[in-house]
Structures are given as structure tokens and as C-alpha cells.
Amino acid sequence: MDASPATDVVHQAILTLHLDPVCQNKEAANKWLTELQQSVVYAWKVADDLLHEKRDLLSCYFAAQTIRNKIQASFAELPVESHESLRISLLQHIKHITPETDHTITLQLSVAMADFALQMTSWENPLLDLISILAGDPPNPDGQHIYALLDVLKVLPEEITSRHLRLASERREILRTNFGKMFDAVVPFVSLDRRLLDDKKYTDSGGHHSSSASTQKAMQCLTSWFEFAVLPTQSMNFEPILQYAVTCLTDRWTPNMAHERAVECLCAAVGVFYGIRDHSDEHYVLARWVQEAAYTMIEPFNVCVAEEDIDKILGFARLFSDLADALTSAIIYSPGVDLGSLQTLEILLLCAGHFDPEVCNVTFNFWYNFAEVVHRHEDTHLTGLVKPYVKRLLMALRRLVEMEPDHEGILDEDTDSYDFRLRVSELVRDLSCIVSPTECSVEMLGHMWPWLETIRKREIDGSNPDGRSGWELIEACYFMMGTVGRLIPATAEVVDPMVDSVLSLPSNFHVAIRVSAISLLGEISHCFEQRAHRANEIFSFLLLYLNDPICAQAAASSLEKVSMVFRDLMGIDHLEVLFTALRSIDENNTVPRHNVVGVLVSIVCVASRLSPTESKDILREVVRYHVGHLSQHCTDGAPRIADPTMWLDRIAVIGRHMTSSVEPGMIHPCRDVVIEMWPVLDAVLTKYADDSRIMERTCRALRFLIRAVSKQCSELLTPLVPKLVEVYNGKRHSCLLYLGSILVDEFGRESEFQGGLLLMLEALLPSALELLKDADSRKMHPDTLDDLYRLCGRFVQRLPGPFLVSSCLPSVLEVALVGVLLDHKDVIIAIQKFWVDFIRIAGLPEDEDSPVRHVQLAKDILFEKGCGAQLVLNLILDVVGWNGFGYSNYFLAEFADVIYSLMSLDRVKMCHWLEAALKDVAVKMQATNGSIQITQTQLVSVHKAITSAEGIKTVVQGLKNLNRLFA
């Protein structure tokens, strides 16, 4: 853009963008306006002029948004001498804000003012100056600009912690400290004088408190400052607005929006004293005030329940949960006393007693954390005090997971009820440290037993022939017992009554009861080792339901677990019954075929425990059955559309669970079985080479089969490796690279195979590198990058010598250096692991197991050829977000692993590399964003923290500190 456009032209473009019905005109206007916003000079002036002219809402919004974006992202464009004029202009716009001003424009201008104040380092006291300018001198809480001031005061602390604003961490800390000290100057405006609570202008005709705009702004402002978390609270000089928030919550006529903001305000206050233990804490007065206020809200909560006002109920639940979370330490260390009052748990149970599961769900995070803390504390007195509350919670959860009485079938996995049950399962298991699994099961069994007897009695006398009355309670009890089933001690006396109740269930009971009861048998299967005499009745019971369309999946899963327990008691007869059941399911179209997986696992696991001859015979029969079906998809006459994935998945299951023990020198009983499969798998690789999904399944099956028999299937390498290379070079499925890594892992240490494996890599690499030739290509093919470096990593681990002298090494290292800059979890893990293993080679002792040549080659690559220095630079660029990615702490741990490995190899060189990288990165980042101001002292501090580290955790902390400098 060569010249500043007239505001008339800009205004017309804005109208075209929003109002013109022609799409082409809209696109052209959008492109032109975007260029204007990105211009270095003209955007500032045009936006300022539009705001002064106030033509219409659209133009004012565009102008406010432009100024905010420019200040937030491009403040460095602005010459220092123009800062003062921009400040004056912004203040003029802010002064024109009234309660009638559109909220979006108000927000944009307030954020712009806040961001400007925070980035203008020459402005020493922006907070006090803004108060003085907008509230007068002396400040007047009822001044004409109070509305605008509240907006600015609200966003100021929020923007200090915002990651969208590129402030150095040192600047943030200075601002946080100064603002915390100046909070007393803010209090008159957030408290709005005690007249707020009494003045008639704040009440409606019925005498109920209404919420003026400025009142709600004041609550939002105080919320923001509470979340700022550096405030003095002993004087409680902000109590009037807190009291007003409580009034909003206790008054049934409070509008929902005001109620929500009152909840947010009190929750923010709770956050201030999070973790408080007793009266010695500086925030004790505030904590005690909020605690007492919350205890007065039981009746308002019940009123909302009666009126079914779910939004307000959820607000109360959030407040109660946050308060309980903040007071956890007090409850743990002084249960029942002062801040540790157990009434906090009582108000939480109000939420659990509500009929809507979502209300109780709000409290789950507290119960998770509370259970963990109680478990760590190991205090029997404390456990005894809180156990009655947890038992009541468990009964409430049992009621909440009940299905509707008229529900048909079982819960669909896509429903909210099913998701809620998953969360309940996790919570009940966590709470088992307070109420033991045995106690929980006894409670549930005792609760449902009368209902079972009643239903059986009605069945006998004919008054309830279908056995459905009260079924939902019984099913819920079975579900609750199943959640803790795996935690029940094998010797627990409750196990036999549980098993009896399941095995004696009439077949006409609601199918949901049967499914939950069958699943319970699987969950308590570990208890059957001491109940071997019940093997046949349990086995027969589960087989009975394998052909039931609804119960089959649960029966197969439980059968798998039970078979693992009874495997030493099961022989050929049991396997034949299982195999017959498996074939019956395949032939029965009413039962989904994926339900046989548990049966198949049972067969393979039990067969693997038999003698080698018996194991070989039964596994060959099972394999031939599946390979026979798979081969039908590969014949010349088979339709191309036929999907063989089910059979491939089953073959993978067979390979994964073939765990026969083989003595040294013995032939693996499954060796011939695996080799017999190859022709059919080869045909699948040929016919379905275009289908990445089927290729993925085929490679997975081959992976488990090869892992099962290891080196004894070496004769497969001759046909498999050429086939792998052929298909990959033609279709480039990354799963074939992963399969190659399995071959290297299994056979790479054997010298007779090393040459062929290296030739395989050299044949695969050109096609892989073609997909990774530039940054965009690497972003488009992360799976290829991931699997390629899993393969290369195996070469480093298993045959480093040949790999280090191979012709493909330079290309591999080149991509590995730039690959660390990609924002992809699996890629980061694979490449960092590759580098750690590579560095380990350079650090090996020079002995017969690690020839001098291997070690020296690795060192030369890192030290002499510059790979080490470049690697450190790229890692530091990652940490500071050079590519715009926000790496998680998990990634920082991966980066730290590489850096610490380099330090372990040569700390002196690592110090030099890191110093150069920090200087280079600081220059690059500051050139990109002038608002980032990094001092030499800060860089030295980070450098020292990292290079003096004696463990990976210390390096991670140093990288976190570095990240904060540029955040």
C-alpha cells in the first residue's frame, strides 16, 4: 500500500465486506482491509481517524480491532517519539466509552489501552495515571468515566498474564509486583461504596436487588484482580462488593447473568486462598468470610432445585467445589475444626443429590484430588471422619448411574450417560482408599439383594413374569461393584455371594443387568485362583451368552480374563469348545464378529501353555481357519472391494498372544505356523498395495508374528524385505518403514543379516526423503518422519558400525536436524530418541564392544561437522517458540534429554554451543518482536542453570525459565 487511503474509501470497503451480497466483492474488500491492517504506517492513522469520526458500529469495530491488534502484535513498529501521541489518542477514545457503547468496541479499546500501558516501558505508573485521568484528582468513584475505568481496570491484570502479549518475564514480574502494591488505589472503584447495597436505585419495584451495568463491571473487575493473586486481603476493604455477590446468589430473583458473575467473583476469591491450612495464613480472614458465606447458600440452592434453574444450580456447584478444593489442606490437617469444617463436604453432597449427573460431575475434580491427598496422608482418624460422607457419595453415584426404567437394551457408547459412567468408574476406584472395594461391594450387594429376592418371588407367583420391576437399581449395583471389582482382595468373603448372585440370574432379567453382571465376573476374575472348584460353572455360564447379540461382547471379554486365571486347568477339551464357539459366532450373523476377539485371545493364551506338540497343533488349526478366510480375499476371483481387515486384525491378535516358553536350542512351536502364513500375507501386500488402511493392518499382523518367534523366522527375510521395499517405493506407506524397524530390532545384531538390512535402508531412503524434501512436506507427512526415525534409531541401537559409514547417513542427519523443529508429538519423540541414541554411541567406552572407529565417527559428526552446535540451536529455537508453536512441558522433557546427553558427552563444548545458541536466538526473537527485551543477565542465568545441571529435571526447569523469557 503506497499511500494512506481516505477514510471514505476504508469505510466503503468495510460496508462492502459486511453488507455486499456479491461474494467476489466481499473477498476483494477483505483482502484490501487485511493489507491495510498489516501496513506499518497507515493502519494506525486510519484506525484513529475512524474512531474519531464514529460513523457507524461496523467502522468503529474495525478501527478498535485494528488498534488492538497493532498494539498487541506490532508495537515495535511504532517509533518511541510517537508513544505519547498514541497514549493521548487512546485516552480520548476511552473517555468516550459509555454504558451504551457496544461491548465489543469497549473491550477492544480497553485491551488496546492495557497492552499499550504494559509495553510502554517509559510509562512508570500506568495504573495510578489511568485512575487519575479517568476518575479525576482526587479520584471520584462516581465520576463520568467510571464505566470506562472499570473496563480498563478489569483487563489490565488479565493482560499481564496473557500469552498473546509478548512481554519478557522480567517485565511481567515488575508489573505484577507494582500492581499488587497499588491494589488499595483500585479498591474504591471495585467496591463502589456501601451505598450500593442500600440505595433504592439498585432495587426493583419488589425490593429485590437489581444489577446495574457498573455493579456487574465492578464484580468482574474484582474477579480479574483476585485472579491476579498478589493482593493483600487482611483489611477486607473490598468486602462490600463481595457481600453484593453473596446477595446476588441468595436472591432468587437475580438474573442468570448477574448470578454467573457473582459466582465467578467468589470463585476468584477462593483462588486467592487456595491451599490454606489454618489461621496463620495471610488470607485467613478472606477464607473464613467466604466459607461462612457459602454455608448460608444451602437454602438458595434448594430453592433453585425446586425451580429447576439448572444454570444457577451449576453455578452453586462450581462455587462449592472450588471452595472445597481450596480448603482441602485445612480439612486434612484439622478435620472438623475452623476452616477444616466437614460442613464443606456436606454442601458438596447437595450437588451429588441432584438428579442431573452434570451437577455432580462439577465436583468430581475435588473428589479425585481429595482421595489422592487422603491416600498419601495415611491417617486412620481422618479416614474414619470422612468415610460416612464418601459412603453417601457412593450411594448418590449409584442413583445417578441408574438407567431409565423404560430403557431398552444397554447404554449406547455415544451417549452422555455412558460417558458419565466412565467418569464415575474412575472416581469410585480413586475413592477406594477411603471406602475399601470390599466395603463398597458389600454395601451394593446388600442394597440390591432385597430387590433380587422380590423379583424372584414375583416371578414365582406370576405377578412380575418379565422380571423387570426395579431392574435399574440392580443393574446400577452390579455396575458399581464392577468398577472396584479388580481391586477386591482375592480372599474377600464377598466374592462368593457376588458370583452366586450372577450365576443364579434368571435368563429373562433385563439384558442390561445380565451385561453388567457378566462384566463383573471378568473384573473379579483374579479372585478365582482360590476358587478353582468353580471353574466349570463360570466357564459354562459365560459360554451360554457368547451367541447372544447383546451380551456376546461382555461374555467374550470376561471369558478372556477368566481363561487367563484358569489356563492351567484348561485342556484340549476346553479349547475345542472355545474354538467351536468362535466358529459359531462367525456363522451367526446376529452377533458382531468383533466380539470373538476375547474368545480368540483365550484360545491362544491357553494353547501357549500346553506342551509344544499340543500347542503347535491347536494353533495351526486356529491359524489355518483364519488364513483360509483371508486367502478368499486374495484369490483372482475375489472382489477388490472385499475388506480383509477383520481377519488381519485377528491374525495380529494370534501373534500378539503367542507366548509359548521355549528352551534354548528348541524350535518354537509356532515357527512353522508363522512361516505358513507368509504366502497369504504376501498376496495381501500385492493386491491391496493401494489401501493404506489394509497395509497398516498387514504390517501390524507381521509385526506381532515376527515378535512372537523372533529370530527363528529368519527365512522370512528373503521374501519379506524385497516385498517391503517394492511396495514402499511404489506406494510410500509409512507403516512399512515401521515394519522395517521391527526387522532391524530382531535381526540387526546378527552379522549375517546386517548387510541386507542396510541395503534395505538404502533402498527405502530415497522415496522417504522425497516426501520430506522441505518444511511444508515434513508438515504434510509426519507419520513418514516418525516411522523413518524409528527405523534409523534401530540401526543406531543394533548395528551402529555399518550405519555410521553408510552413504545414507548424511541425508538422515540433515533431516533429523530440521525435523526437531516440527510441532508433532510422535515426531518429536522419535527424532529426540534417535539423537539420544546417537550421542550415546559417541560416549561409549572404547573397548571391544564399542570399537574406537564407531565412537570416533560419532564424535566427529557431532563435534567436527557441526551437528552438535546446530542441534542445540534448533532445540533452543523450539523452546522459545521460534516457529510459533507452544511446546508443552512434555516436549521440554524430550529436549532436555538430548541436551543433558550432550552435556554428559562433553560439558565444555555444550557450554559453548548453548552460549552461541542463546545469543543467536535472542537476536532473532528481538528482531521479530521488539517488545521482547532480554538482558545479558537473564541469558547468563539460563545458561548457568542448564550447564550446571546434574540431572534432566534441572535442565527441564532451565528450559522452562528460558521459555518464560520469550513468552
Residues in Cβ contact with 551 at an 8 Å cutoff, skipping those fewer than 6 apart:
511, 514, 515, 518, 545
For the segment 927-941, the average pLDDT, to the nearest whole number, is 72
- Give the Å distances, CA to CA, from 499 to 248, 442, 528, 602: 53, 13, 10, 21
Instruction: Kindly state the average pLDDT of the residues 617-639.
Output: 84
* DSSP structure string for 461-474: HTSSTT--TTHHHH
For the ranges 263-267, 338-342, 406-410, 424-428, the lowest mean pLDDT is seen at 406-410
Indicate the average pLDDT of the chain.
86
Q: What is the pLDDT of residue 508?
A: 82
Cα distances (angstroms) measured from residue 27 to each of 16, 20, 46, 265, 436: 9, 10, 21, 43, 64
Tell whether the model's pLDDT for residue 466 goes beyond 70.
no
From 166, 167, 239, select the one nearest 196 (Cα to Cα).
239
Q: Is 847 helix (H, G, I), strand (E, B) or coil?
A: strand
Instruction: Extract the C-alpha cell encoding 880.
Output: 522459545
Q: Considering only residues 235 and 118, tell me which one the structure prediction assigns the higher pLDDT.
A: 118
Give residue 488's pLDDT: 95
The whole-number pLDDT of residue 571 equals 80
What does the block give as the cell for 520? 463383573
With cut-offs at 50, 70 and 90, classify the pLDDT of residue 320: very high
Q: Percent of the chain, pLDDT > 70?
A: 90
Burial (CB < 10 A; 0-12, 13-18, 19+), residue 642, is: exposed
User: Is residue 465 over pLDDT 60?
Assistant: no
Residue 206 has a pLDDT of 47
Q: Buried b vs exposed e over 84-116: b needs ≥16 C-beta within 10 Å?
A: eebbebbbebbeebeeebeeebbbbbbbbbbbb
Would you state the pLDDT for residue 141? Answer: 60
Percentage of residues of the chain with pLDDT beyond 90: 46
Per-residue pLDDT tens digits for 303-316: 999 999 999 999 99
What are the C-alpha distances in Å from 613 to residues 568, 575, 605, 610, 904?
A: 16, 15, 15, 8, 52
pLDDT greater at residue 811 or residue 239: 811
Task: Specify the range with the lowest mean pLDDT, choosing from 265-274, 457-466, 956-965.
Answer: 457-466
- What is the pLDDT confidence band of residue 850, given thresholds at 50, 70 and 90? low
Q: By mean pLDDT, which of 259-273, 466-480, 499-513 is the weakest?
A: 466-480
pLDDT tens for 861-877 read 999 888 999 999 999 98
Summarize pLDDT for 870-896 with one digit per residue, the tens. Answer: 999 999 988 887 665 555 566 788 899
Q: For residue 357, what pLDDT is reported?
A: 95
Q: Give the per-residue pLDDT at 290.
A: 95
* Whether pLDDT at 41 is above 80: no
Query: Is 837 a residue whose pLDDT tops 90?
Result: yes
Residue 909 identity: K
Question: 74-88, 698-712, 792-806: lowest mean pLDDT where?
Answer: 74-88
pLDDT, one tens digit per residue, over 700-733 is 999 999 999 988 899 999 999 999 999 999 999 9
User: Per-residue confidence at 824, pLDDT binned at 50, 70, 90?
Assistant: confident
The residue behind cell 483365550 is 602
Q: For the chain, which residues make up each domain, given as ranges?
A: 233-238+245-399, 403-460+468-527, 732-865, 866-966
What CA–CA distance (Å, rounded) separates 905 from 895?
A: 16
The Cα–Cα gap between 297 and 209 comes to 17
Note the pLDDT of residue 137: 64
Any bridge partners for residue 203, and if so which?
209
- Report helix, strand or coil for 434: coil
Establish whether the linkage from the previous residue to 138 is cis, with ω within 30° of 0: yes
Position 336 scores a pLDDT of: 92
**Is 936 strand, coil or helix?**
helix
Tell me which of 520 and 94 has the higher pLDDT: 520
Contact, 818 vs 778, CB < 8 A?
A: yes
Confidence band for 642, pLDDT divided at 50, 70 and 90: low
Residue 735 banded pLDDT, cuts 50, 70, 90: very high
For residue 203, the SS3 value is strand
List of residues 6+ apart from 770 with CB closer than 8 A: none
Does residue 198 register a pLDDT over 60? no
